[in-house]
A and B are shown apart, each in its own frame.
Chain A
Amino acid sequence: MPAIEPEAIVGSRITNQSLSRWLHSLPGVDKVGLEARVASLSTRSIKTTSKAWGLDMAIKMMDLTTLEGADTKERVRSLCLKAITPDPMDLSTPQPAAICVYGDMVVHAKEALGKNKIYVAAVATAFPSGRASLQVKLADTKDAVKAGADEIDMVIDRGAFLSGNYLEVYKQIVAVKEVCQRKDGNHAHLKVILETGELETYDNIRRASYLAMLAGADFIKTSTGKVSVNATLPITMLMLQAVKDWYDTTKIQIGVKPAGGIRTAKDALKYLVVVKETAGDKWLTPKYFRFGASSLLNDVLMQRQKLTTGNYSGRDYVSVD
């Protein structure tokens, strides 16, 4: 994968001024047009074999998430076991991509997952608000990386972004990326949460996407799940368009992760359609597209059972998690 050359992309030394100029030169987004396109794609009819493929892929793309103040070792262990065997009645069911937890739970997740090829993602940088000093954010990140987190889900400083201090946002991402490095030369994959619900406008979301990609994000992620507007299809489509355009110009492929509010298999399939018809097949893989979700898994499992048995399933035929 080619390395990012931020100065070449921006066309000058990185300053707040140059970032501002660059971000504001991006094409605008028309809300109504974007949402109309999503509405049109949402009418795609996904049946039989493509539905089966989509349901399995949705599970494989899942970051099974628990992010509660009340999380405990047992709670995390239970979720990990669910990830290892999502549907004990059907062992052909694929496993989710990752378990997503708070930093202090990483060690428990690692232990519970053992040798299973399920990643552990940790939210970091004073998640969800991001309101802490950079030192605290970095310490938070280092802690999770040290505990074995394969992926770090950081939040951007929305306050800085909304006040036009793009350089601050950029610098923080760059700094977090640095501490994602491990001694063995690998690095924890960095997902940058834009908290799109707080950025509010699509223009802001496109700019924040570009800023995160420029700073070295491996993934751009919509939301923390902790504000009133979380992942939506139009926001996800916009971010997919951004990574597609980024790839077309830099040859660097960035992933997208919608998180929060995706609860049904039907919704998940709509997201896959949007992935396919916006970014393309290259993104139809857990390497480049993830769902941040908790209750979604069970609905997908029930739909999967329906496809296998022909009968509608019930909530007592999938496990609570």
Chain B
Amino acid sequence: MRLEIKKTYKLFIGGKFPRSESGRIYKVNNHKGDFLANVAKASRKDVRDSVVVARSAQSGWAGASAYNRGQVLYRIAEMLEGRREQFVAEIRELTGKSEKQANQEVDNAIDSWVWHAGWTDKIESVAGNMNPVAGPFFNISTNQPTGVVAAFAPQDSALVGLVNTIAPAIVSGNSVIVVTSESLPLAAVTLAEVLETSDLPGGVVNILTGNAKELGSWLASHMDVNAIDLEGISNAAELEMLAAETLKRVIRPGTYSRSAAKGALQHILDFMEIKTVWHPKGN
């Protein structure tokens, strides 16, 4: 009998798969309570490193054409589809879902990437404006990504909740540091492998496994983070207060559903800034 090669579940920072800087791990069990894997437990220094790479990756990602970003997001859907079996297996193992239910979750995750991929070059068409001002001026409002987003994925979802947390942040050109569900992190690490092989520039998505509450205050108080999605955090009010210190954009828990095959445009726009440009019209 051949001995199976087990996977080491590491963090995903700057397009690489480091262990936690702290060297810490935690045990993840399957839905029956049996040991499944040791997973890296991210520390505040991993948060710090993630923000640095997220910041440096952001302008390049935002500067890519919308068409290009759409293709990258679609490619993620393709790669995810190709590894469907693995995701289904991980979801089932972690959550105890039936094969049909697990497949449904993977379907939704894939379709959500496709839904978001299609938005990249349409956001401006529906959320931007030419403004008819009362003067000899050209006046246009556009949306641009806010910068670096910190996000806490829902705790009760292994895959689709994570996808519906990452995709709305990055679709417009933000970079994101996402803290996964603590107890359901395996599919997240597999998703990182998908991202790593789908032309997404390193640092645009950074995935931290570990304890959201432990990492939360470091992200919420980090002065180089522009927006924070508090969906999967238990002490949201506390973090919202920390975020107020630099007036981060905040998404409160429960604002958007994270389980469907598509997201919400407003969710995407919450991570964008409206910029209005004026210019005179004259010879």
Q: Do chains A and B touch in the complex (CB under 8 A)?
A: yes
> Measured between C-beta atoms, what is the minimum distance from B34 to chain A in Å?
73
Once the chains bind, are B280 and A200 in contact (CB under 8 Å)?
no
* Residues in chain B near residue A200, CB distance under 8 A: 283
How many residues of chain B have a CB within 8 Å of chain A?
A: 7
Q: Tell whether A102 is near chain B: CB-to-CB under 8 Å.
A: no
Which residues, 18 to 55 on A, are CB-close (under 8 Å) to B? 30-33, 35
Q: Tell whether B136 is near chain A: CB-to-CB under 8 Å.
A: yes
How many residues of chain A have a CB within 8 Å of chain B?
A: 8
A33 to B283 Cα, complex, angstroms: 11
* Residues in chain B near residue A319, CB distance under 8 A: none
Once the chains bind, are A201 and B283 in contact (CB under 8 Å)?
yes
A6 to B136 Cα, complex, angstroms: 38
* Residues in chain A near residue B283, CB distance under 8 A: 31, 200-202
**What is the total of A-B residue contacts with beta carbons within 8 Å?**
16
A30 to B136 Cα, complex, angstroms: 12
> Measured between C-beta atoms, what is the minimum distance from B136 to chain A in Å?
5
> Measured between C-beta atoms, what is the minimum distance from B283 to chain A in Å?
5
Which residues, 198 to 237 on A, are CB-close (under 8 Å) to B? 200-202
A200 to B283 Cα, complex, angstroms: 9
CB-based nearest B residue for A34: B282
Q: Which of A32, A35, A200, A202 has the most CB of B within 10 A?
A: A32
* Residues in chain A near residue B67, CB distance under 8 A: none
* Residues in chain B near residue A35, CB distance under 8 A: 282
CB-based nearest B residue for A31: B282
Q: Tell whether B137 is near chain A: CB-to-CB under 8 Å.
A: yes
CB-based nearest A residue for B135: A32
CB-based nearest A residue for B137: A32
Q: How would residues 126 to 149 of chain B score, 1 for a CB under 8 Å from any chain A CB and 0 otherwise?
A: 000000000111000000000000
A200 to B282 Cα, complex, angstroms: 12
A35 to B137 Cα, complex, angstroms: 13
Which residues, 113 to 169 on B, are CB-close (under 8 Å) to A? 135-137
> Measured between C-beta atoms, what is the minimum distance from B220 to chain A in Å?
44
CB-based nearest A residue for B279: A32
Q: Tell whether B6 is near chain A: CB-to-CB under 8 Å.
A: no
A30 to B283 Cα, complex, angstroms: 8
Q: Tell whether B281 is near chain A: CB-to-CB under 8 Å.
A: yes
CB-based nearest A residue for B280: A32
> Measured between C-beta atoms, what is the minimum distance from A262 to chain B in Å?
23
A202 to B282 Cα, complex, angstroms: 10
A86 to B243 Cα, complex, angstroms: 76
> Measured between C-beta atoms, what is the minimum distance from A241 to chain B in Å?
17
> Measured between C-beta atoms, what is the minimum distance from A28 to chain B in Å?
11
A30 to B280 Cα, complex, angstroms: 8
* Residues in chain A near residue B137, CB distance under 8 A: 32
* Residues in chain B near residue A201, CB distance under 8 A: 283
Which residues, 101 to 131 on A, are CB-close (under 8 Å) to B? none
A265 to B136 Cα, complex, angstroms: 29
* Residues in chain A near residue B280, CB distance under 8 A: 30-33
Which residues, 177 to 213 on A, are CB-close (under 8 Å) to B? 200-202
A73 to B243 Cα, complex, angstroms: 87
> Measured between C-beta atoms, what is the minimum distance from A115 to chain B in Å?
49
* Residues in chain A near residue B282, CB distance under 8 A: 30-32, 35
CB-based nearest A residue for B283: A201
> Measured between C-beta atoms, what is the minimum distance from B62 to chain A in Å?
30
> Measured between C-beta atoms, what is the minimum distance from B278 to chain A in Å?
10
A33 to B135 Cα, complex, angstroms: 12
A201 to B136 Cα, complex, angstroms: 16
A31 to B279 Cα, complex, angstroms: 11
Q: Which of B135, B137, B282 has the most CB of A within 10 A?
A: B282
Residues of chain A having any CB pair with chain B under 8 Å: 30-33, 35, 200-202
Give 3 closest A-B pairs by Cβ, nearest first: A31-B282, A32-B280, A32-B282
Known: A32-B136, A32-B281; 14 extra A-B contacts, CB below 8 A, are A30-B280, A30-B282, A31-B280, A31-B282, A31-B283, A32-B135, A32-B137, A32-B280, A32-B282, A33-B280, A35-B282, A200-B283, A201-B283, A202-B283
Q: List 16 A-B contacts (CB under 8 A).
A: A30-B280, A30-B282, A31-B280, A31-B282, A31-B283, A32-B135, A32-B136, A32-B137, A32-B280, A32-B281, A32-B282, A33-B280, A35-B282, A200-B283, A201-B283, A202-B283
